Amino acid sequence: MTIRPDAFDGELRIVAASATTWALTAPLRWIGTKGDSFTVPEAFVTDFATVPRVLVWKTLPYGPYTRAAVLHDWLLTQLAEWQAQVDRGGGMAGQDWPTAEPPANSRDCDGIFRRVMEDLGVSWLTRWQMWAAVRLAACFNSRREYGRQFAKDAPAVLGLMLLSAPFVLPGMVGVTISLALSWPFTRTARARAGAS
């Protein structure tokens, strides 16, 4: 694993925005090897890597990939804002139609995520599994329609899912059973807390 130390021009600086989100206190700039770079602005709010509850045992929302996840969140936010303007038929800066493209389309956002994880020294398996997860999630998110192009990546995503299934499914089943069994107790505790 090779870490590219010049991939970012600084460290991630954050402050808690809520119990599960964080706001940047300084811009975060990634400089790619292909002449591309992106700057996540100060005050951008992120939840780091969005991981379903049944998979937190395997992948935490933070780790060596945190800066990649923050950049990915920002790119997707920009894409969603652009898509919302297109859907409204309104343009950027008072134009009748958006004249500027988003920083990256849906497929490119996920590819950049994987490239940045490589720059950060994230293991091959972890970065490809996380890439496959976000590519699959793009299929179910209407805000990621622009440039989704999932058919191009479907064989790789499905192959990674099949390779990962024997390792991931037992843990997911265990967590699901645990959550199901604890649900009545959690619900009761929340009701008591609300009554106080």
Q: What is the 3-state secondary structure (H, E, C) of 80-120?
A: HHHHHHHHHCCCHHHCCCCCCCCCCCHHHHHHHHHHHHHHC
| pTM of the shown model | 0.77
**pLDDT, greater one: 183 or 120:** 120
Question: Is 23 strand, coil or helix?
Answer: strand
pLDDT of residue 29 exceeding 90, the answer is yes
pLDDT single digits (tens) 124-180: 988 988 888 899 888 888 778 888 888 888 888 788 787 777 776 777 677 678 778
User: Nearest to residue 77, comparing CAs of 114, 104, 107?
Assistant: 104
Q: Which residues contact 92 (CB under 8 A, 6 or more apart)?
A: 85, 98, 99, 100
